[in-house]
Amino acid sequence: MGCYKKDGIQTDVTYWDRLWHERREKRHLIDLEIDPIYKLLEYFVPQPDSSIIEIGCGEGLRTLNFAKQHGLEVTIFDYSDVALELAVENAGDLGVMVDTINGDLLNNSLDPDRYDIVWSVGLYEHFCGEDRQRAFDEMYRICKPGGTGIVIVPNSLNLPYRLTKKFKETLKKWPYGYEEPFSRWEMSDRMHKSGFKDVETVGIGALLSMYRWFLHGTSYANRFLKNPTPFKSLNEHLQRIDLDISTGNYLNNIFGRELGSRGIK
């Protein structure tokens, strides 16, 4: 799935099996109150229907927590068996029933018009060439008429992300393989081309993104994300700005840590 090898960077299934095996050995939790990606999912789907599928589920924690909160039927899809096993273990911990599908998104592995919510985070940036648009087209194909498609990806204009990625690639320590981040304009264009209507693209997490990326992989990154300064009231103010999802927040919409795009089929 995606660019298996580009510029000498290997990202085939064995690469992801190894990464998720390491994550399986060292579990981590997501703080849903301050997690930008979970906030985007809540923003895009304020009143969920009955079914949700995450494409490229990885650990699946956000989908599982969202499904538990709203009582949704859950499907997790990945082409790494290790990722699926990890997500199933997390589902058991949360008391959520899941269906699992192992497959390649671009090989028509999924039924058409099947899911109310089709979403993905941290996957589409791994596609290149013609496959980049095909991934959006496949999301549209499996979404129910009237359903919601959501893609969340790294922002090409987020400087801390670009600097950290370049530095770690130079040291051969970048953990996520080949990635080509998106601009908000490319995101919206590809959603429209696939057939989605009422497309909305927003950003989030610009202000505190330096703490995530410059401290990436360290044990104290999350601590600084929650408390970037010694002052509680200032920390709360910075978090409100960082997690603000609105058309008027130009800082997040242009330079956000992540970009999210939602369309209706």
User: 61 lies in which domain range?
Assistant: 5-154+177-202+257-264
Give the mean pLDDT of 191-207.
96
pLDDT at 27: 65
pLDDT at 26: 66
Report if residue 219 sits inside a domain. no
pTM score of the predicted model? 0.91
In order, the DSSP letters of 59-94 are T-HHHHHHHHHHT-EEEEEES-HHHHHHHHHHHHHH
Confidence of residue 5 (pLDDT cuts 50, 70, 90): very low
4, pLDDT greater than 60:
no
Number of domains in the chain: 1
Report d(CA 136, CA 68) in Å as an integer: 26
CATH of the domain at 51: 3.40.50.150
Report if residue 53 sits inside a domain. yes
Confidence of residue 9 (pLDDT cuts 50, 70, 90): very low
Report if residue 118 sits inside a domain. yes
pLDDT at 13: 72
Report if residue 32 sits inside a domain. yes
Strand-pair partners of 183: none
